[in-house]
Amino acid sequence: MSNKPLISVAILASFVTGCEGTMGDISKENLGATLGGVGGALLGASIAGGNKKWLGAAIGGAVGLFAGKMIGQHLDERDRQALALRTVDVLDQRSAGNSTWKSNESGASANIKTGEISYKTAPKQIKRLSSVDSVSSIKLEKKEYQTTSSLRVRSGPGTEYATITSLRSGDVITSAGRTDNGWLMLAKQGVTVGYVHAGYVKPYNPIKQAEAQGIDLDSVNVESLPKQEGFVGIDLDNVDITSSTVSAQMGCRDVEVSVTTNQGTEREKANACQNADGVWELG
């Protein structure tokens, strides 16, 4: 495979927590896809067809990720999309290392190697509630989490700050960034609404949440999957909003994908960087 420059493609950070096999083989237990806020969800639902709309929504955000057959030119479309999902997951991991992917259908496999994350810094305007403190710097991310217990939302990244509101156990929240001391800067519609410590949340997995409630995922539409939204009591039209400039840290890391099929092995290297919204891009 040639080493021509990769076309820049957007990657939904932390879109999935694990993916083995092709789209047709991805188990519901292993598919931890973030449906909320995923622009490709409805597109994915139409692609999946039939009554597998939950699966279509899960893959939707990765459609076109490897457009132009940049990586895996001998993979079929399903395998490319499954590999794309796995690559999204690996890029979002904090430490460098090797991860693998294997198609249960075709037997194709891949090794995904990432380097350490280095950070570049740029000023960024952050909208926030007037009652919420600004921070001097933040590591950008765009990721949904679910609370693991009832939780106080603070005006700043520490227990010494005032309580703004509270969250219920199981609430789904969106993090726009992470502080150096392990607190998440939470946002609603692009407005910072407070901070919680990362130790009291987990990545949001609507598939497992639906199964835990006994919902037959093959018989429901995407829109009806359960999602217990946080910050329902905050009406952004009736609160004071201000803005401030923070030093936004955006990560970059090298990634190498080696794909093996019955046609042989091909390898592609690239550099992945986050954009100003915290979303990864391959370039």
- Does some domain include residue 264? yes
Which range of 58-62, 155-159, 252-256, 262-266 scores highest in mean pLDDT? It is: 155-159
pLDDT digits (tens, 9 = 90+) for 85-100: 777 778 878 899 999 9
Of 49 and 278, more confident = 278
73 and 87 together in one domain: yes
Task: Count up the domains in the chain and report the number.
Answer: 2
- Does some domain include residue 174? yes
- Does some domain include residue 208? no
157 and 258 together in one domain: no
81 and 135 together in one domain: no
- Does some domain include residue 228? yes
227 and 131 together in one domain: yes
Neighbours of 195 (CB within 10 A): 26
- The token duo for 221 is 């539409």
**H/E segment holding residue 140:** strand 137-147
Contact yes or no for 178/138 (Cβ under 8 A): yes
- The range of the structural domain enclosing residue 126 comes to 120-203+220-247
Q: Beta strand 183-188 with 172-178: parallel, antiparallel or unpaired?
A: antiparallel
194 and 243 together in one domain: yes
Between CA 250 and CA 261, with CA 256 as vertex, the angle to 5 degrees is 140
195 and 230 together in one domain: yes
Of 48 and 278, more confident = 278
- Does some domain include residue 104? yes
193 and 101 together in one domain: no
- Does some domain include residue 71? yes
237 and 140 together in one domain: yes
**Placement of tokens 């198609």 in the chain:** 103
pLDDT digits (tens, 9 = 90+) for 108-125: 999 999 999 999 999 999
Between CA 195 and CA 215, with CA 85 as vertex, the angle to 5 degrees is 75
CA dist., res. 149 & res. 162, Å (int): 19
143 and 227 together in one domain: yes
158 and 235 together in one domain: yes
140 and 150 together in one domain: yes
The pLDDT, as a whole number, for residue 279 is 76
Within a 13 Å sphere around the CA of 204, how many CA atoms are in the beta-carbon half?
A: 28
When pLDDT is averaged across residues 27-32 and rounded to a whole number, the result is: 30
127 and 175 together in one domain: yes
Alpha-carbon radius of gyration of the chain: 19
Contact yes or no for 229/200 (Cβ under 8 A): no
Choose among 57, 67, 48, 75: nearest CA to 16: 57
Residue 189 sits in a domain of what CATH number?
2.30.30.40
